Amino acid sequence: LARASTVTSRSERGACMSVTVVVGTQWGDEGKAKVIDLLAASHTIVARYQGGHNAGHTVVIGDQKYALQLTPSGVFYDTVTPVIGNGVVVDLPTLFKEIDSLESRGISTARLKVSSLAHLIFPWHQAIDAALEAARGDSKIGTTLKGIGPAYVDKVKRAGIRVGEVLNITSFEAKVRERAVAARREVSDIGGDTFDIDQVVSDFVAYAQRLAPYVADTVNLLHDARERGEHILLEGAQATFLDVDHGTYPYVTSSNPIAGGAAVGTGLGPRHIDRVVGIAKAYTTRVGMGPFPSELTDDLGDKLVDIGREFGTVTGRRRRTGWLDTVMLRHAMRVNSLTEIALTKLDVLDTFEEVKVCVAYKINGEIVRNYPDTVERLAQVEPVYETLAGWMSSTEGITEFSQLPRTAQDLVKIVERETGIPVSMVGTGPARDSMVVR
């Protein structure tokens, strides 16, 4: 905890209030939750701003490991109010399962607030997600099948049901029934699994009653806290290259994980954001389909999976792995206005004889430094690598930059050189305190 407070106090340099966004710079699972858990010690609010239970955020505290899908990663501090912001799509069965699991492990969720403006996920969204994926055949996206895309479609179509509506149970029940009838028709039209309308309605009336005490006007809650001088942390799910606008479309999620999404998804204004921490793994992983220039499909890729334990928290799928790609990080720096990078999982590279970093792309023999704007162009790129001799010694648990092996320091410096921003943290293990803070 002492270390965690140092992280924030050093970077805030005496500011009386601050809003910090934590955002993924690759394709997810960069270790966002660990950094949020570390920073949360000196913040009073941690708010999720987009996505839903497609996220799997792992926090390791002592010998305990927690995998969170919806609850903000600040929940482990009794000084923090965890907030599910308006930009999130909320699956109530998952939320309550998570609350029960945390409570059974002695973690209080009583302070949790859920935005009245957030949208709800219903079973038909999952049925539609599955049916659409099946219909896509070989060109499937590889979604988490959690109904995220279809729930956002209903939001944009202005056909969604929002969290605040649970406060009037009679109209909520009528609305769920009306939507369920229409959705069942849609689901059967596209060959999806059908569902029992009465069962869904009665389940959701019970969920609604349980949700009511958590419902809040989180937009004003966040502004009031900020104006009182409190420090707020905004937790991104997914990542820059899964962003529906800036990612590798159509192999993306249906929300805006980039830092701009934090304003949309919480109601804080863009000028209220003071600091944007981009989380980058010291190599790259991706779950699901889509182009991946620095992918390793050989033994080295398997080694990254084994040592980095690269299996999805939510779906258990094996993650695709490859070398670090600074063309991506430079683009992430631009679209998120990153102020710094936290480079995680450096220790996973400890036993690699060579460590490569992609620093540019070649398309038809020509060097390209900007990230291509279509997946078709991205599929044509050939990565240009800088190769470092592996350090071949353990970095696990190191907390001082000067203690890192020379070539490990060189890797950090390449990231700084290519992005033009500082690497303020370096991850050296899953545990809360396995982190170099500079």
Catalytically active residues, by annotation: 29, 57
Q: Which does 345 bind (CB under 5 to 8 A by kind): Mg ion, ligand GDP, ligand IMO, none?
A: ligand GDP
Instruction: Print the binding letters for residues 194-233 with ligand IMO: x by CB under 6 A, - otherwise.
Output: ----------------------------------------
Is there a cis peptide before residue 257, judged by omega within 30 degrees of 0? no
Taking the mean position of all CA atoms in its chain, how far away is CA 342?
14
CB of 266 to ligand IMO, least distance (A): 16
Choice from 83, 200, 237, 343 touching ligand IMO (CB under 6 A): 237
Closest CA to 246 of 128, 325, 150, 328: 328
Q: Which does 143 bind (CB under 5 to 8 A by kind): ligand IMO, ligand GDP, Mg ion, none?
A: ligand IMO
The residue written with tokens 């979604």 in the block is 143
| Phi then psi dihedrals of residue 25, to 5 deg | -105, 0
Whether residue 324 contacts residue 346, with contact meaning beta carbons closer than 8 Å, is answered with no
Whether residue 75 contacts residue 109, with contact meaning beta carbons closer than 8 Å, is answered with yes
Q: Which of 53-61, 167-175, 194-202, 323-331 is the region at the interface with ligand IMO (rule: CB under 6 A)?
A: 53-61
43 counts as binding ligand GDP under rule CB under 6 A: no
Choice from 92, 131, 141, 341 touching ligand IMO (CB under 6 A): 141
Q: Which of 51-59, 187-195, 268-276, 373-381 is the region at the interface with ligand GDP (rule: CB under 6 A)?
A: 51-59
Instruction: Print the binding letters for residues 88-127 with ligand GDP: x by CB under 6 A, - otherwise.
Output: ----------------------------------------
56 counts as binding Mg ion under rule CB under 5 A: yes
Instruction: Print the binding letters for residues 284-313 with ligand GDP: x by CB under 6 A, - otherwise.
Output: -----------------------------x
Number of H helices, E strands in the chain: 13, 19
73 counts as binding ligand IMO under rule CB under 6 A: no
Site for ligand GDP in 329-348 (CB under 6 A): 344-345, 347-348
Choice from 34, 125, 275, 320 touching ligand GDP (CB under 6 A): 34
Closest CA to 31 of 279, 258, 278: 279
Instruction: Print the binding letters for residues 147-166 with ligand IMO: x by CB under 6 A, - otherwise.
Output: -xx-----------------
30 counts as binding ligand GDP under rule CB under 6 A: yes
Rg from Cα positions in the chain: 21
Burial call 248-278: b when 16+ CB within 10 Å, e when fewer: beebbbbbbbbbbbbbbbbbbeeebbbbbbb
Closest CA to 27 of 318, 248, 265, 234: 248
CB of 403 to ligand IMO, least distance (A): 29
Q: Which does 348 bind (CB under 5 to 8 A by kind): ligand IMO, Mg ion, ligand GDP, none?
A: ligand GDP
Residue 293, token pair as written in the block: 């220039």
Give the count of alpha carbons within 13 A of 227, CB side only. Answer: 8
Question: Rounded to an integer, what distance in angstroms lies between the CA atom of residue 39 and that of residue 303?
Answer: 30
Question: Rounded to an integer, what distance in angstroms lies between the CA atom of residue 338 and that of residue 328?
Answer: 13
18 counts as binding ligand IMO under rule CB under 6 A: no
Question: Rounded to an integer, what distance in angstroms lies between the CA atom of residue 427 and that of residue 434?
Answer: 6
Whether residue 266 contacts residue 11, with contact meaning beta carbons closer than 8 Å, is answered with no
Q: Nearer Cβ to ligand GDP, position 154 or 310?
A: 310
Question: Rounded to an integer, what distance in angstroms lies between the CA atom of residue 387 and that of residue 390?
Answer: 9
58 counts as binding ligand GDP under rule CB under 6 A: yes
Taking the mean position of all CA atoms in its chain, how far away is CA 96?
20
Q: Which residues bind ligand GDP (CB under 6 A)?
A: 24, 28-34, 56-58, 60, 313, 344-345, 347-348, 427-430, 434
